[in-house]
Amino acid sequence: MDSYPVPILWASRNVIPNEYIVRLKDDADMISHFKWLEQYANDGLSKCIVTGKFEAIKGYGAELSGPVLEDLTRRHDVKRITQECETECASCPPTSP
């Protein structure tokens, strides 16, 4: 049984404001989902910019704010919404200035 609204998994640190990964359910139609998303691109209330599509996980990255974010939590085809954060790599060498 599906639960609604779809929860947003909020980052606890190193938050990238208004950036999210949206994962769709396995049976979701990505084309119809993106057509639905287009209505928010110029509505004057929402920020909705798709920054990348990830077919391997059936999802996408996007800059989102306003009504579109809440409306995504009520979509039957959305599996998960995760706020993006910058990761820290303990084994990565420091970058030069």
What is the C-alpha to C-alpha distance for residues 66 and 48, in angstroms, rounded to an integer?
A: 9
User: Domain of 44: which CATH number?
Assistant: 3.30.70.80
Does residue 62 sit within a domain?
yes
Instruction: Name which residue leads in pLDDT, 78 or 1.
Output: 78
Q: Mean of the pLDDT values across residues 55-64?
A: 95
pTM to 2 decimal places: 0.82
Q: Mean of the pLDDT values across residues 58-79?
A: 95
Does residue 60 sit within a domain?
yes
What is the C-alpha to C-alpha distance for residues 72 and 50, in angstroms, rounded to an integer?
A: 14
pLDDT at 23 exceeding the cut of 80: yes
Does residue 29 sit within a domain?
yes
Tell me the two tokens of residue 58. Answer: 């059936």
Residue 29 identity: D
* Torsional sign, CA 74, 75, 79, 83: negative
